[in-house]
Amino acid sequence: MDKHLLAGGFGFPLGFVAAIAVALGSAAVGAFAHPVVVLVALAVVTFAVSLATTLPAALGTAFVCWGVYTGFVLDSLGQLQLNGRSALAAVVLGLAALVAVGGMAVRQHFRESRSRAAVIPVRLAPPIRG
């Protein structure tokens, strides 16, 4: 049994679609004038998707969110730039992914150790001796 809610390659596509949806929604309400608000929204998307998927999909989602943020919020022409604001966004989004995946790994570890400790072998019948 896989420990991830979105196993089988569905995590990254979900993150991609969610990042695009947040960017389009932010553009529709005029939030591009406030880039920090868009960054927080993308960090929430990254964190939420990362809770339910694998580490590669979480990091891929963070990368897509960074690309959308850097290309369309900080620079309206879709060009990726590495400057102070985009580097800060990369750190924020990467940390959102790593914290979520790490938290789920710790939760899974304690869940497994608790379930292993609860199993007590019980002998139902005495051994047969001949």
Q: What pLDDT digit, counting tens, does each position of 18-63 carry?
A: 999 999 999 999 988 999 999 999 999 999 999 999 899 999 999 9
Place 122 in a pLDDT band, splitting at 50, 70 and 90.
Answer: low
Q: Please give the full DSSP string across 14-69, using - where no structure is assigned.
A: HHHHHHHHHHHHHHHTTGGGSHHHHHHHHHHHHHHHHHTS-HHHHHHHHHHHHHHI
Place 11 in a pLDDT band, splitting at 50, 70 and 90.
Answer: confident
Mean pLDDT rounded to a whole number for the chain: 86
Q: Is the dihedral angle over the CA atoms 4, 6, 10, 15 positive or is it negative?
A: negative
pLDDT score at 112: 73
The residue with greater pLDDT, 34 or 129, is 34
**What pTM was estimated for this model as a whole?**
0.80
